[in-house]
A and B are shown apart, each in its own frame.
Chain A
Amino acid sequence: MFSIDPANLMVAPLLIFMISGMLCLLFYKRVDIQRAIVISSSLIALIAAVKLLDLLTRDGFVTTQVGGWEVPFGITLFVDRFAGLMIAMTALLAVAASIFSFSDRVLSARKKRIGFYPALMFMLGGISGAFITGDLFNLYVWFEVMLISSFVLITLGSKRDQLQGGIKYVVINFVASSFLLLAIAILYGTTGNTNLAALAASLADPALQPITRLAAILLLVSFGIKAALFPFYFWLPASYHTPPIAITAIVAGLLTKVGVYTMIRTFTLLFPLQQHYQLQKFLLGASCFTALVGVLGAIAHRDIRKVLAYSLISKIGFILWGLSVYTSAAIAGAIFYTLHHMLVNTNLFFAAGIIGKAAGSYRISEISGLYDRLPLLSFVFIMLALTLVGIPPFSGFWGKFMLIDAGLLAHEYGSVAIILITTLLTLYSMMIIWSKCFLKKQDVKGQQLLPEGVFIKQCYHMYIASAFLLIVTFWISFNPSWLIEYTQRAAEQLLLPSNYVDAVIQR
């Protein structure tokens, strides 16, 4: 590290990802060099992010002004504990994804040559940029960086299904970004700036309420589309299962969570939900529907990747439900659950990738007898499934416990019931996969599976990436107290937006 100045540390992950993306572009014909660049840079970014997290334990936030311009004019960069956690998780997933896609068996060399690594790095750069920015227009720019790279990732290789899913993804996300731009226009027109802190200060004025409510709704729709909230989620299951699994895993783990992050940021800082009662009620209903519809979709579908995509949607519902309950404990639970779910969801897609590689198919009906042949994979999958559902010792339990506890304290009994039903149905959807693909004896005429020893030798990178994330999950599961405490402090920070404003404006 060239310097441990906190302001430099907070831009470090962003810069590392962007510069390594550029270097990958420079060596676009040499896959081996790109691979080395990507793995080393994501490791460095992880170290920087952990250091930043450590710094935030003491200070609470880091902020800086780009180019030294003063507050309402320049772009603010702001990292608090929530953003720090998200950046660290992004870097962690970057490491895992680059290990997973290391081998040409997972992602063909041709796809790597036509720009997998640069697009991946620019997407990660865009995501870290969206996490650290303190300016609404800058957020739009990072969103676009992230989206254009993810467009490239999702359509990489130009298979027919990929392109068809890609159209839906591209057009709907284009409309979402346009809505964000419209909201920015309204907010700029009424208050005269786009800096989040300055906006939060001026939006407290009730005289502006009628017109800024329009902006709030536009932001809700825009971020709702990106986070796959209930009425706006249709693009996700149409596109997420089409690209190669290495791409699906990283895209599914990260992109919707950026939508969730911005939503939590917006509706605690700019439009605190306790002042916008209707929005809170809408969000509460929409998130319950998201949870239910997602899990019902997961039960209905017969393709492992689609089951996982729908269960992702239902978990988005959980997280946003935590936001809409809007107590400190509920938001802490939402943050904890976001982090847990980024880990587990990515890893489940990794496991699905291994299943697909071993069995040659993703259709549940065509896979059988995995438990007899691949015991290690079965162990990984059942652990992940139980973690996702939230069986007591695992991290899903802690997140869900925090959420439900907070919900009961806030007297939201109806929606707590819906969340609990959803959990039960998630268990059911996971057990369909477990019993049909793993426990059922292998068909005689079905495809012959390789013995696990041979298979691991072929695809050890996939196992390493999966085991790496599983170890982190276990570490959080059996050692949750520091993370729970950290998320609680992050939530308290989020619920006191005046701190944010003071930190940025009076520096």
Chain B
Amino acid sequence: MPIFLAYSLYLLFRGHNNPGGGFIGALVLSIGLVFHMIAFGVPATRRIYKINTMVLTSVGLLISSLAAVSSLFFEGVFFEAIWTDIHIVGLGTLSSVLMFDVGVYLAVTGSILKIAFSIFNE
């Protein structure tokens, strides 16, 4: 599980100019969680990882849409990317694109787990 988490975060942050990104990262993370779910059952997964899928999805969507709207406040067009000058080692440049990706990451994880939980929940 930690390996899945680490690799998915790596995919998330290398996503802008390399293959990867929020969606793929989220899929990798949810593969890990779904394996855990198959092995130990839905209640165990819910208990151990304390996941609230609805909150995860909505927070993710809100972050993404904030990234989309943010350019409106800086005299830009809707959805225009904003790049800052802050570089963090390993994360690349902070930007609204990254923010969008993080949002997608959370939202996709949340919704895939929601689907998986409701299919498996007998």
Contact = CB atoms under 8 A, between A and B. Distances in A.
Contacts of A64: 77-78
A67 B58 contact: no
Nearest to B69: A15
B81 to A, nearest CB: 7
A380 interface: no
A25 interface: yes
A138 to B, nearest CB: 12
Contact of A67 (B55, B73, B81): B81
Interface in A1-49: 2-3, 7-8, 11, 15, 18-19, 22-23, 25-26, 28
A19 B65 contact: yes
A77 B79 CA distance: 12
Interface in B51-77: 54-55, 57-59, 61-62, 65, 69, 72-73, 76-77
A6 to B, nearest CB: 12
A66 interface: yes
A378 to B, nearest CB: 43
Nearest to A3: B72
Contact of B58 (A3, A26, A65): A26
Q: Which of B58, B59, B81 has most A Cβ within 10 Å?
A: B58
A68 B58 contact: no
A8 B80 CA distance: 13
Contacts of A77: 78
Contact of B77 (A18, A28, A66): A66
Contacts of B77: 7, 64-68
Contact of A25 (B58, B69, B76, B78): B58
B72 A66 contact: no
B65 A22 contact: yes
Contacts of B81: 67
B59 to A, nearest CB: 7
A144 B59 CA distance: 21
A28 B55 CA distance: 8
Contact of B65 (A3, A7, A15): A15
A116 to B, nearest CB: 14
Contacts of A2: 72-73
Nearest to A67: B79
A133 to B, nearest CB: 12
Interface residues of B, number: 17
Contacts of B69: 15
Q: Which of B69, B72, B73, B77 has the most CB of A within 10 A?
A: B77
B113 to A, nearest CB: 14
Contacts of A15: 65, 69
Interface string B4-40: 0000000000000000000000000000000000000
Nearest to A66: B79
B96 to A, nearest CB: 10
Contact of A8 (B55, B57, B72): B72
A65 B71 CA distance: 13
B72 A23 contact: no
B78 A11 contact: yes
Given A8-B72, A18-B65, A22-B61, A67 B80 contact: yes
A346 to B, nearest CB: 28
A54 to B, nearest CB: 21
A246 B76 CA distance: 40
A246 to B, nearest CB: 22
Interface in A153-203: none
Contacts of A19: 62, 65
Contact of B78 (A18, A22, A28, A67): A67
A64 B76 CA distance: 11
B55 A26 contact: yes
A10 to B, nearest CB: 9
B65 A26 contact: no
B54 A28 contact: yes
A65 B80 CA distance: 9
Contacts of A18: 61, 65
B119 to A, nearest CB: 15
A26 B106 CA distance: 13
Given A66-B77, A67-B81, A68-B76, A25 B57 contact: yes
A66 B78 contact: yes
17 contacts: A2-B72, A2-B73, A3-B72, A7-B77, A8-B72, A11-B78, A15-B65, A19-B65, A22-B61, A23-B58, A25-B57, A25-B58, A26-B58, A26-B62, A66-B79, A68-B80, A77-B78
Interface of A: 2-3, 7-8, 11, 15, 18-19, 22-23, 25-26, 28, 64-68, 77
Interface of B: 54-55, 57-59, 61-62, 65, 69, 72-73, 76-81
- Rank and list the top 7 A-B pairs by shortest CB-CB distance, nearest first: A25-B58, A26-B58, A67-B79, A22-B61, A68-B77, A68-B80, A66-B79
Given A25-B61, A67-B80, 6 more contacts: A8-B72, A22-B65, A23-B62, A26-B62, A28-B58, A67-B79
